[in-house]
Amino acid sequence: MSGSPERAEPGLRREPGSGNGRGLAVETEGLTKRFGHQVAVDGIAMAVPNGSVYGFLGPNGSGKTTTIRMLLGLVEPTAGHRRLLGEPMPQRASETLHRVGSLVEGPAFHPYLSGRSNLLRLDAGDILADPGTAGRRTDAALDRVGLLAAAGKRYRAYSLGMRQRLAIAAALLAPRDLLVLDEPTNGLDPQGTREVRSLIGSLASDGTTVLVSSHLLAEVEQICSHVGVMREGRLVAQGTLADVRGAGPATVRVETRQPEAAARVLRELGVEQVRPMNGEVHGTPGDLEPEKIVAALVHAGVGVQGFSVARASLEDLFVSLTGEGFDVSG
């Protein structure tokens, strides 16, 4: 855990002049959920700024979905507070949730109704939705996810990817200020994944705040402005993508014909985790200045063909934060 960012606080760094400083779309305080003796979510303080795309990361079983269910009022927290779009939940749920589109733990629809009928049914439940525009809004949502042509087919005949698209369409039935998307690209092919990614981008540029949970780190890295990382029910890192990534360890990469000699020099300098591989040496320099490393290499007569310092990729960071790969925790 050393070297990872401090336990995140709600007060995030805010870029002046950008749209991100107008408060928080999602805010929790000491949010906790126990199922019997099992602590699923342990006192998290989540802060999703308005207008951000917030990547919610964590291994399976780390409490992401339980947190999302608490935010949406499906699960009652054991302790703590939650605010959605500035309003306390669940007191103001009826008004607030109308402005929140959500996809929770995969699509779920009536199998013997068509895609369009399923959306109309959900819209019928929304007491704040205008029945006069239901048909138009439904078709617009279906069109936005590329499902209009299959709108009349029964849901049971849909492929996994089509089902996922329908669930995203359901989240877009009304104008939303916040979208909560739990694993939105599950079951989609690469083309569909790219479409969802660009959809999230275009929604975000409309000013919609997006909270997207995912285990596909590369994807989060591409679309998110902020991230929060869950581990065993705790939020172990949170902030802008740059902040969180900046807090991770840098790696140094040396290209050389003498990897063994280079590795020896790096070790002598105190570089950790030195790994020679064919034609390259990688290591974690810690606080060492890169200039000193190059100078020492040259001084030792090691021919340096290339040299670079890189911040950790989100994936490296993730492993360092959660202490594991993408396996089930606990």
Partner 1 sequence: MSAAEAATGTGLGPADAGAARLARPRRWSTRLLRSELRLIGGRRRNQMGLLVLAAVPIVMAIAVKVSEPGPGRGPDFLSSITANGLFVPLAALGVEIGMFLPLAIAMLAGDAIAGEANLGTLRYLLTVPVHRTRLLAVKYASLCIGAVWGVAAVALPGAAIGIALFGTGPLTTLSGSQIGFGAAVWRVVLVMLYLAAGLAGLAAVGLFISTLTEQPIAASIALLIFTILSWILDAVPQLEWLHPWLIVHEWLSFGDLLRDPIAWDGVLRGLSVNGAYAVVFWLAAWARFSSKDITS
Query: Which residues here bind partner 1, judged by CB under 8 A?
Result: 19, 22-23, 25, 50-51, 69, 72-76, 85-87, 93-100, 102, 104-113, 120-128, 131, 167, 170, 175-178, 206-208
Pick the closer one to partner 1 by CB: 131 or 306. 131
Q: Are strands 209-214 and 53-57 parallel, antiparallel or unpaired?
A: parallel
CB of 101 to partner 1, least distance (A): 9
Cα–Cα distance, 318 to 54 (Å, whole number): 15
How near is the Cβ of 252 to partner 1 at its closest, in Å? Answer: 43
- In the complex, what is the shortest distance from the CB of residue 131 to partner 1, in angstroms, rounded to a whole number? 6
- Tell me the two tokens of residue 119: 């959306």
Q: What is each CA distance from 137 to 105, 120, 148, 173, 199, in whole angstroms?
A: 24, 9, 12, 6, 17
- Backbone phi and psi for residue 323, each to the nearest 5 degrees, phi listed first: 70, 20
DSSP letters of 188-209? --HHHHHHHHHHHHHHHHTT-E
Q: Which is nearer to partner 1, 144 or 282 (CB)?
A: 144
Identity of the residue numbered 147: L
CB of 196 to partner 1, least distance (A): 18
Nearer to partner 1, 208 or 322 (CB): 208
CB 264, min distance to partner 1, A: 56
State which residue, 75 or 304, has the beta carbon closest to partner 1. 75
Look-up of token digits 């990817």: 161
Q: Which is nearer to partner 1, 89 or 227 (CB)?
A: 89
| Dihedral pair phi/psi, residue 62, rounded to 5° | -90, 0
Q: Is 323 left (phi over 0), alpha (psi -120 to 50) or beta?
A: left
Beta pairing, strands 280-284 & 250-256? antiparallel
> In terms of CB distance, is 178 or 314 closer to partner 1?
178
Cα Dmax for the chain? 78
For the bound state, the minimum distance from the C-beta of residue 3 to partner 1, rounded and expressed in Å, comes to 36
Give min distance, CB of 57 to partner 1, in A: 22
Q: How many helices (H) and strands (E) are present in the chain, helices listed first?
A: 11, 15
Is the CB of 121 or the CB of 257 nearer to partner 1?
Answer: 121
Question: Which helix H or strand E contains 251, and what residues bound it?
Answer: strand 250-256
Smallest separation (angstroms) from partner 1 to the CB of 306? 45
Tokens of 177: 């200020």
Question: Looking at beta carbons only, is 122 or 319 nearer to partner 1?
Answer: 122
Q: How far is CA 90 from the centre of its chain?
A: 24
Nearer to partner 1, 178 or 224 (CB): 178
Least separation in angstroms between residue 80's CB and partner 1 is 15
- C-alpha 275/C-alpha 309 separation (Å) is 15
30 secondary structure, DSSP code: E
Burial class of residue 36 (count of CB atoms within 10 Å of its CB; 0-12, 13-18, 19+): exposed
